[in-house]
Structure 1
């Protein structure tokens, strides 16, 4: 009895489900009247069809927009290739080859440029221009700055451990500058300024020579002018006169050798006259020949010449020197 009752209940459920499905199939809209004339509660079954229609229209619009975007991008790409002159060798004036990059015409770099070598064509020149300055840096493997060349509007600055200037033919060294020493290896160093050359400290050179048509002048306006050499100092004038003057003392000193004044005429002007009993005016009036005397201190003076030397007699100059 219990089994038969269970079967009747299951049969009743199956019959009820068939009835519900049959009733829903009767309320489906017709193909030609989708969503037409529905108002209020009777339009609940037409919602999915309306949503599907707008979704399909949006999909078609999106595909159309995507197609237009692709066409515009393709047109812009073709225009850029045409304007920039892209080719298999490079872009416009920029050519790529096995040795590197070749640029024809003017090029502007807005960021730092890192290259191993920059050179111009054989028949042209390489010109670097900048609104402010042009700076060339050299770095080591660790990225540390080892050398810098800056060409600015006011000066050209070089920062390096050693600066060398070599000749174009043979690479002969002409000029060397270091922190402690500057060396000129040229055969001749010429100064053409009207004021000559000014040195704040000592100058070491084997020869100072003026042109044949100009005078050589060594001058120290406010300090002492000293000329020293381990083997001697030679001052000569081949064609003109030689003048040595000083505001205070003029000292010629030789520690181991002699002082040689070699000339046809040697004049020592304004030497004091040594006298003992007569006045200077009387001695100058009566005496016409004098001898040159030297004091132990080195002071030179005149003494009236006689049959014998009068330097020891009339040595009042040495007493006050």
Structure 2
């Protein structure tokens, strides 16, 4: 034992350079202090890695930087990989919060939650939902139009307590290629407006030759089709039933 202690002291005393470290590496009361750029060829184990106050901390790699969180059995619990193609996070749940702790975004196997007060999609093509979307409110920015469009499939809106569509400062337009249906199973459909126009209704044959009157009667076929018939002293709908075929 005495010989080993003596040899250790001799090495420390005769070594060149400072006694508190080597090169850019210094030993301090708080741990190891590294100045300048350094390269570790093998794994580095540390409880805390931080930069000098006021300076940023850089992790640089030729391929990727991977951060793993392990359990007692060295099994990976979470992993963050920043590579040349993408940034990947592997965990049971991913969360983004503000400095005050407010949730902005979270994702897990069951759902994705956007906690911000407003979700903005700036892409020119809008937002595509391959399946259903559940939301209490869909609205456009002020002075911008709102479009709900399904180019190749059907557009279905369902709600257990009703659907409300408002255009407070403009018009509301619904267009389709084949047919537009307004259906109420247990209630009624109300068209509440000072003017209701049906400009393209078909007209039945004239009941009197050469008549030029501009007063028409609105008729309803058994299949629900509407058509116009020149008004007379009595209903003229029955003589224009050919329109209903």
Normalised to the residue count of structure 2, the TM-score between the two structures is 0.79
Task: Count how many residue pairs are aligned between Structure 1 and Structure 2.
Answer: 232
**Paired position in structure 1 for 2:149:** 219
1:243 paired residue among 162, 173, 178: 173
Q: Deviations over 1:112-169 (max 9, x none)?
A: 333343333441222222111111111222111111111111111111111111112x
CA contact (8 A) 2:206 2:230 kept: no
Q: How does 1:66-81 map to 2 (within 5 A)?
A: 78=15, 81=16
1:190 paired residue among 91, 108, 120: 120
Question: How far, CA to CA, are the matches of 1:295 and 1:139 in structure 2?
Answer: 74
**Paired position in structure 2 for 1:302:** 228
1:288 paired residue among 214, 219, 233: 214
**Paired position in structure 2 for 1:231:** 161
1:180 paired residue among 88, 110, 115: 110
CA contact (8 A) 2:106 2:112 kept: yes
1:156 paired residue among 81, 87, 103: 87
**Could you tell me how far 1:99 is from its partner in structure 2?**
4.3
Question: How far, CA to CA, are the matches of 1:261 and 1:279 in structure 2?
Answer: 29
Question: How far, CA to CA, are the matches of 1:110 and 1:270 in structure 2?
Answer: 80
**Paired position in structure 1 for 2:49:** 118
CA contact (8 A) 2:96 2:104 kept: yes
Runs (4+) of structure 1 moved beyond 6 Å?
A: none
**Paired position in structure 2 for 1:87:** 19
Unaligned runs of at least 5 residues, structure 1 = 1-73
Normalised to the residue count of structure 1, the TM-score between the two structures is 0.62
Instruction: Report which of the two has the higher share of helix.
Output: 1
Question: How far, CA to CA, are the matches of 1:224 and 1:216 in structure 2?
Answer: 18
Instruction: Report which of the two has the higher share of strand.
Output: 2
**Paired position in structure 2 for 1:133:** 64
DSSP 3-state at the match of 1:138: strand
**Could you tell me how far 1:173 is from its partner in structure 2?**
0.8
**Paired position in structure 2 for 1:49:** none
Shifted more, 201-210 versus 98-107: the winner is 98-107
**Could you tell me how far 1:310 is from its partner in structure 2?**
5.0
Unaligned runs of at least 5 residues, structure 2 = 1-10
Q: How does 1:29-108 map to 2 (within 5 A)?
A: 78=15, 81-82=16-17, 86-88=18-20, 90-108=21-39
**Could you tell me how far 1:305 is from its partner in structure 2?**
4.2
**Paired position in structure 2 for 1:17:** none
